[in-house]
A = this chain, B = another copy of it.
Amino acid sequence: MRAGMAVLTVDAAGMRAQNSGLLLNMIWRERQISRAEIARRTELSPSTVSAIVADLEQAGLVRSIGAGVSRGGRRPTLIGFCDEAFSLVGVELGASHVTVVLTDLRGRVRTQSKASHAVRGDPEGSLQKAKELIQECLDAERVPRRSVVGMGVAVPSPVHPASPGKMSPLILPAWKNVDVKEWFETAFDMPVFVDNDANLGALSECFWGAGSGGEDLTYIKLATGIGAGHIIHGDVYRGAGGTAGEIGHIAVDSNGPLCVCGLRGCLVTLIGSTALTERARELMGTRGRKGPTVRDLVEGARAGDAAAKQIIDGMGAWLGIAVGGLLNLLNPAIVVLGGEISSVGELLLDPLRASVRQRALSVSMAETRIVTSALGERAIAVGAATLVLQAALRDRSLFPQQNVGRTA
């Protein structure tokens, strides 16, 4: 057993790296803070703080942003993070679409582009499409390559920690021989990070959404598939084989319909988008030729349509079984529901909470907030970009060197 040796050895340079990384994170988090305040909080000496801040300023990562309020003496110089200094690329390969965002270092989307594409069956086409969209985004903002930190890619498959670019051959057989990480690294010559879509939704929520400020959260993506992502101690938790959070195939109804995975009564067969729209067609009738969509369901429920509400209620009840187990097993601080259907908000949360209450210890429930996402449909693509940000905030050297001293 390794008794906590994640830490590597340190020499003088490593010492500086560690301290400057710490300062960079603090400045990023606080948005504005004085050298004196940094010194107080970190217990670093004022001289050291000054030296490191000068370093970071030189690298174009932080800058002075005027004077703060006096505490009875000279007014402090506030230091702020250069949110705009670099860009991040986020790519979402969904089941039926490709979304690309270009964000700054504060998760704000500068440009986005999206296209429908049958991703599951067509790896080469999907990747090519993604490449076009990315180039489009980069061109639109005239972003020079050297100001891009890297690229995050969300994929609709578990990702094994040992081979971060490969999909699961069981879930996406057509992608068997493709290495997404390598492909994009070759295509764009920048660091590429790949992870599962629900994991990146969770990261997104942890940085920019309901979980910001915390370190432990579970995100549940409600869409064609049902998947969850865990953030534990501020990090995506992937499990031994990368399949942590694959809750779509938890069997919640032993008499339920047969699933493609071979089991019976899987969550996804009961509350996946397909099941929901199918049920909506039964209860709400067809709308035009194609039958009701998830959007119709959301709008119906909001408008007070009884059938729609009934479907959402049922969904909450089923989902509650899985969430109840989740609370007892993991006791996360926050559970965030994402995916289009989650926009019904309380209409889903109410029956869900009721169902959970029947299945989870009151102790676990008391510590857990269950909420819906407020980040919208770009959440996962932004989460992909965030994966790059997280890596760079930990390892400053990922930020490209700005040869000229100009800050952006």
B-contacting residues of A (Cβ < 8 Å)? 1-12, 14-15, 18-19, 21-22, 25-26, 28-29, 42-44, 158, 168, 170-171, 206-207, 211-216, 228, 230, 232-235, 237-247, 249-251, 261-264, 321-322, 324-326, 328-334, 358-364, 366-368, 389-390, 393-394
CA distance A387 to B173 in the complex (A): 44
Q: Contact at B247–A328, with CB atoms within 8 Å? A: yes
CA distance A325 to B244 in the complex (A): 10
Q: Contact at A364–B243, with CB atoms within 8 Å? A: yes
Q: A2-B215, A216-B240, A251-B321 are in contact. List 12 more A-B contacts (CB 8 A).
A: A4-B390, A5-B25, A6-B233, A10-B18, A240-B333, A245-B329, A246-B331, A249-B361, A250-B325, A251-B359, A325-B325, A325-B329
Residues of B within 8 A of A168 (CB): 363
* Residue in contact with A206 in the complex, picked from B1, B12, B332, CB distance below 8 Å: B1
Q: How far is the CB of A375 from chain B (nearest CB, A)?
A: 13
10 residue pairs of the A-B complex, CB under 8 angstroms, read A1-B212, A4-B25, A4-B234, A171-B363, A237-B330, A239-B331, A243-B361, A251-B321, A251-B358, A325-B325
A217's nearest neighbour on chain B, judged by CB, is B240
Q: How far is the CB of A243 from chain B (nearest CB, A)?
A: 5
Q: Contact at B243–A359, with CB atoms within 8 Å? A: no
Residues of B within 8 A of A329 (CB): 228, 244-245, 247, 250, 325-326, 329-330
Q: Contact at A170–B362, with CB atoms within 8 Å? A: yes
CA distance A232 to B330 in the complex (A): 11
Residues of B within 8 A of A328 (CB): 243, 245-247, 249-250
CA distance A379 to B286 in the complex (A): 61
| From A11, A168, A170, A364, residue with most partner B Cβ within 10 Å | A364
Q: Contact at B361–A330, with CB atoms within 8 Å? A: no
Q: Contact at B22–A3, with CB atoms within 8 Å? A: no
Q: Contact at B207–A240, with CB atoms within 8 Å? A: no
CA distance A171 to B44 in the complex (A): 44
CA distance A388 to B247 in the complex (A): 35
Q: Given A15-B10, A18-B7, A207-B1, verify A240-B332 contact (CB < 8 Å).
A: yes
Q: How far is the CB of A78 from chain B (nearest CB, A)?
A: 20
Nearest first, the 7 closest Cβ-Cβ pairs linking A and B are: A239-B331, A241-B367, A240-B333, A244-B331, A3-B393, A251-B359, A243-B331
Q: Contact at B10–A211, with CB atoms within 8 Å? A: no
Q: Contact at A4–B393, with CB atoms within 8 Å? A: yes
Q: Contact at B42–A4, with CB atoms within 8 Å? A: no
Q: Contact at A3–B244, with CB atoms within 8 Å? A: no
* Residue in contact with A25 in the complex, picked from B3, B233, B241, CB distance below 8 Å: B3
A369's nearest neighbour on chain B, judged by CB, is B240
Q: Contact at A22–B2, with CB atoms within 8 Å? A: no
Q: How far is the CB of A19 from chain B (nearest CB, A)?
A: 5
Q: How far is the CB of A246 from chain B (nearest CB, A)?
A: 5
* Residue in contact with A9 in the complex, picked from B22, B211, B233, CB distance below 8 Å: B22
CA distance A236 to B360 in the complex (A): 21
Q: Given A43-B9, A329-B326, verify A234-B361 contact (CB < 8 Å).
A: no
Residues of B within 8 A of A235 (CB): 4
